[in-house]
Chains A and B, each alone.
Chain A
Amino acid sequence: MQNYIIITNNPLTARNAASNNVLRYYEGVDILSILTIVRANIHEGHKLATHPLTSSIKPNETPYKTVLMYSRKGSLCVESLEMVESAIRVTEKFVQRQPPRSWDSMPQKILDDLAIIDYDMIKQWIT
C-alpha cells in the first residue's frame, strides 16, 4: 500500500489515518495555512497526490482541509507548485470576498458533517 504524507486540520482524518502514513495534523489552523504548509512541502521536494481544492464545498464554507502528498522526495515538482499556488489564490479570493463564519459558534453536528465530506474523499487511500 502506498503511504502518504497527510496534511490536515480535520480531526476525523487524524483519528482514522493508518499508521503507515506520515500524519501531520494541525489542529485549529485555517485552510489557507494548510495550503501554505502544503506549498512548503512541495518546495522540499514532495509531490501532490490529491488536488488541493476538493469537493464542492467552497474554501470559505468549511474549516477542514486534507491534502495527500507522496512521501518520496525528488526535485521540485513545478506542476504541483502551480496547482497549490492556484489553490491559494482561489482560497484567498473566496475568503476575502466572504470571510468564513465563526466556526466556534457552529453547531457540532454541522462541523461533524463538514469533516465527513473532507474525510470521505480520501479515506480509501489512508485507512
Chain B
Amino acid sequence: MRLELGNILIKDVQFGANQGVSGGILTVDPAKLREMILEDDRIAGAVVELAKPGESARITPVKDVIEPRVKVECGEMFPGMVGKVATVGEGRTHVLKGVAVVTAGKIVGFQEGIIDMTGPGAEYTPFSKLLNVCLVLEPAEGLKPHEYEAAARMAGLKAAAYIGEFARSVTPDSIEVYETKPLLQQVQQYPNLPKVGYVYMLQTQGLLHDTYVYGVDAKKIVPTILYPTEVMDGAILSGNCVSACDKNTTYHHQNNPIINELYNQHGKELNFVGVIITNENVFLMDKERSSDWSAKLTEYLGLDAVIISQEGFGNPDTDLIMNCKKIERKGVKTVIVTDEYAGRDGMSQSLADADPLADATVTGGNANEVILLPPMQRVIGMLDYTDKIAGGFDGSLRPDGSIEAEIQVITGATNELGFMKISAVEL
C-alpha cells in the first residue's frame, strides 16, 4: 500500500465569503460552516471562532482536534463515518498543514480539555502551534450525553472534511510518500533488518472513552492488522477526551509520531512490517482475549520487536502489561510507551501495574504535575464547571480567570504516542 501525503502549508486562516486556499492563506466562511453543522438537528447552536498561535485565547472543554484533509484519489474521507466504507491508505491525500478543526462542548459536567494559545499552558499542548478553526457546539434541548457525543464527533469530522475539500486542486508544497508492501514482499525487501511492528492500543471503555476503526466501535473488534498508511489516512478516529492529557485525538491518529518515526527508520535500521491494533476493555476476559491475540499476531507476522503504545491510565496499565508479557514470551522484544500519575512531586509509583518483562519503557510525562494557567482575554467555549474538572480541585478556577490544576487538564500534555515537546535531558 502506497500513500502520498501532499502537504499544503497554511500560513494564515481567515474568515471570508470567498472560501478556499490561495497563497498559503485559508479562507473559511463561518456562516456556511455553521449551516452545514446545523443540518444535524441534534446540534442547536454552533459558534465558529479562530484561534491562532500567540493569541490570548483559551479553548475549553476540547472534544476533538482534527486535521483537515481531502482524498484526491483512492478511498474516502473518514471512511465509515463521513465517507462511505472504503479502504484508505492508498493514493493521494492532500493535507492543510498547520490547520486544525477543534470541537468544544460540555458533554459531561466534569469534562476538561484545555488548549491555551499562549502562556505556560501553550507549551504543554502541540495544538497551540496550529491555526485552529474552533466549533463550540450546543446540544438540542434534552439531548442525552451519548447522543451529544456522537453529534459533536460527527460535526468535527464533517467540518474537517468540508475545509479539507478546499485543498483538492491546490498544488502541494511537499509530497511525502509512505509505502508498506504485502507481508511476504515486505519481509523480503529488507531481509537483513529486524522486523519491527507497532501494537497500537485504543481506548474503548464507553462514553467519552471510545475509538472507532473504519466506523466500527473498537471495543467490538478483536485485534487485527493494518497497513501503517491506513492509520495515517483516517482509518482510526477518536471518540475520546477524558482525561485530556493522555487521550489520542483524531489529529494524533492522523499524525502518529511512532508510525512516522518507524517509517523514518524503515530500510535503514529496521523493517517496519505493520500495525496491530488492539483495544482496552473493561471485562477481564476481553483483556485476556485481546492480549492473547496481539501476542499471537506478533508471532504470526514473524516480528523481532514491537513498540506498544497505551492510551489512558489505570486499568489500561493492565492491558499494557498483559500485551508486553505475552509478546515477550513469544520471543519478541518490546518497548512500551505510557505516561505517569506519580503524584505532584513525581515520587509515587507511576503505573497501576508492572512486570519485570517491561524493562524498556518510554514515558510521556507526569500528569499530576501542577500548573498555573493565567487568565486569557478570550475563552472559546466555557469555564462554567472548571472547578469540577478531572485534574482540577475545589478552587481551581480563580476569580481572575486563572486556573490552577494538574497538567492532565491540558489536551495532549502527556500524550502516550510522544506527540508533544516534553522530553528528558541529562544534566
* Residue ranges of A at the interface with B (Cβ–Cβ < 8 Å): 48-58, 61-62, 68, 83, 86-87, 89-90, 93-94, 97-98, 101-102, 106-107, 109-110, 112-114, 116-117, 120-122, 125
Known contacts A90-B314, A107-B388, A49 near B348 by CB under 8 Å: no
Q: Which positions 191-226 of chain B face chain A at CB distance < 8 Å?
A: 203, 205-209
Residues of chain B contacted by A61 (CB below 8 angstroms): 110, 390-391
Contacting residue for B318 out of A51, A101, A116, A122, CB 8 A: A51
Residues of chain B contacted by A120 (CB below 8 angstroms): 146, 206-207
Contacting residue for A55 out of B209, B352, B393, CB 8 A: B209
Instruction: Assess the B282–A101 pair: CB atoms within 8 A.
Output: no
Nearest-CB residue, chain A, relative to B207: A120
Mark contacts of B382-416 with chain A using CB atoms, 8 A cut-off: 1 yes-contact digit, 0 otherwise: 00010010110110000000000000000000000
Instruction: Assess the A51–B315 pair: CB atoms within 8 A.
Output: yes
Q: Once bound together, how far apart are the Cα atoms of A113 and B247, in whole Å?
A: 19
Shortest Cβ distance from residue B404 to the other chain A in the assembled complex, whole angstroms: 12
Interface: B283 (CB within 8 A): yes
Interface: B343 (CB within 8 A): yes
Instruction: Assess the A110–B352 pair: CB atoms within 8 A.
Output: no
Nearest-CB residue, chain A, relative to B242: A56
Interface size class of B (residues with CB under 8 A): 35 or more
Known contacts A61-B110, A122-B282, A53 near B341 by CB under 8 Å: no
Question: 24 A-B Cβ contacts within 8 A?
Answer: A51-B283, A53-B314, A53-B318, A55-B205, A55-B314, A56-B243, A56-B247, A56-B312, A56-B313, A57-B390, A58-B390, A86-B352, A86-B353, A87-B352, A90-B352, A93-B343, A94-B341, A97-B344, A110-B108, A112-B109, A113-B145, A114-B110, A120-B206, A125-B283
Known contacts A117-B206, A117-B207, A54 near B315 by CB under 8 Å: yes
Contacting residue for A107 out of B109, B312, B318, CB 8 A: B109
Instruction: Assess the B283–A56 pair: CB atoms within 8 A.
Output: no
Q: Once bound together, how far apart are the Cα atoms of A65 and B392, in whole Å?
A: 20
Give the dominant DSSP class at B's interface. Answer: loop
Residues of chain B contacted by A109 (CB below 8 angstroms): 109
Shortest Cβ distance from residue B349 to the other chain A in the assembled complex, whole angstroms: 7
Residues of chain A contacted by B343 (CB below 8 angstroms): 93, 97
* Residue ranges of B at the interface with A (Cβ–Cβ < 8 Å): 108-110, 145-146, 203, 205-209, 242-243, 246-247, 282-285, 287, 312-315, 318, 341, 343-344, 348-349, 352-353, 368, 385, 388, 390-391, 393-394
Residues of chain B contacted by A89 (CB below 8 angstroms): 349
Known contacts A83-B318, A93-B348, A97-B348, A50 near B243 by CB under 8 Å: no
Shortest Cβ distance from residue B132 to the other chain A in the assembled complex, whole angstroms: 24
Shortest Cβ distance from residue A55 to the other chain B in the assembled complex, whole angstroms: 6
Nearest-CB residue, chain B, relative to A59: B314
Known contacts A58-B243, A87-B352, A116-B207, A53 near B109 by CB under 8 Å: no
Residues of chain A contacted by B110 (CB below 8 angstroms): 57, 61-62, 110, 113-114
Instruction: Assess the A53–B243 pair: CB atoms within 8 A.
Output: no
Shortest Cβ distance from residue B150 to the other chain A in the assembled complex, whole angstroms: 13
Q: Once bound together, how far apart are the Cα atoms of A48 and B247, in whole Å?
A: 27
Nearest-CB residue, chain A, relative to B313: A56
Known contacts A87-B352, A107-B388, A110-B388, A51 near B284 by CB under 8 Å: yes
Residues of chain A contacted by B391 (CB below 8 angstroms): 61
Residues of chain A contacted by B341 (CB below 8 angstroms): 58, 94
Shortest Cβ distance from residue B307 to the other chain A in the assembled complex, whole angstroms: 22
Nearest-CB residue, chain B, relative to A114: B110
Instruction: Assess the B353–A56 pair: CB atoms within 8 A.
Output: no
Instruction: Assess the A113–B108 pair: CB atoms within 8 A.
Output: yes
Residues of chain A contacted by B242 (CB below 8 angstroms): 55-57, 117
